[in-house]
A = this chain, B = another copy of it.
Amino acid sequence: MPNRKIEDLPGKTVERLSQYRRLLFNSLQEGKTNIYSHELARVTNLTPVQVRRDLMLIGYSGSQSKGYVIKDLINLIGKIIDSDSGQRIAIVGMGNLGRAITSYFLGKREKLSIVAAFDNDTQKTDRIIAGVPCHHINKLKEIIPAENISIAVLTVAPEASYEVAKLLFEAGIKGILNYTSMPLTVPPGVHLEEYDIVTSLEKLAFHVKQ
């Protein structure tokens, strides 16, 4: 493949790049400047070949003696994953999970920021929760475009999920990370990532059982 484009990097590779970068930050903080593929592989539970292949796909070259230059690699991964201007995120549903994600995430990434939250409980709206202004959900269609929010994290109750998703589409959202137990179908042009805790636990339980 002489001319593989960045935009069709394998999805798995994108996930791993994010993981690499996280670990590279750690190594940098420990004072390291260079790292070998087998070191990255050990800590990620991957194989050195897979690490090298991923880096090959993004066109990064290391040196046979010193391995990869951590700083350069972090920058390159940033160029690929991050968008120049940064992307703005909303949390929709400020229950336990919504608050957990918000406080967990806050300040973790320069180019991704949670800038708004929404809920339908007036106890929670019109104030700052976990560092983020929480609005009533009936302002969603107005605030999403006004705040230039492109990504929503959906953490509402499952019963509300379709209805709220519809609002998000109408508001012009571009990506949804769905933590609801209801799978969504999204219109063309909207990206979707789903995750369900129960499924993860059941998968793990299945393997443990064997």
Near B by CB (< 8 A), chain A positions 1-31 give: 7, 11, 14-15, 18-19, 22-23
A200 within 8 A of B: yes
Residue of B nearest to A199 (CB): B18
**A45 is contacted by which of B7, B109, B183 (Cβ under 8 Å)?**
B183
**A202 is contacted by which of B95, B109, B176, B208 (Cβ under 8 Å)?**
B109
A196 within 8 A of B: yes
Known: A19-B199, A177-B200. 13 other contacts (CB 8 A): A18-B198, A43-B183, A81-B202, A81-B206, A96-B104, A97-B100, A99-B100, A105-B197, A105-B198, A112-B205, A151-B201, A176-B204, A191-B204
Interface residues of A (CB under 8 A from B): 7, 11, 14-15, 18-19, 22-23, 42-45, 80-83, 87, 89, 95-97, 99-101, 103-105, 108-109, 111-112, 150-151, 153, 174-177, 181, 183, 185, 191-193, 195-210
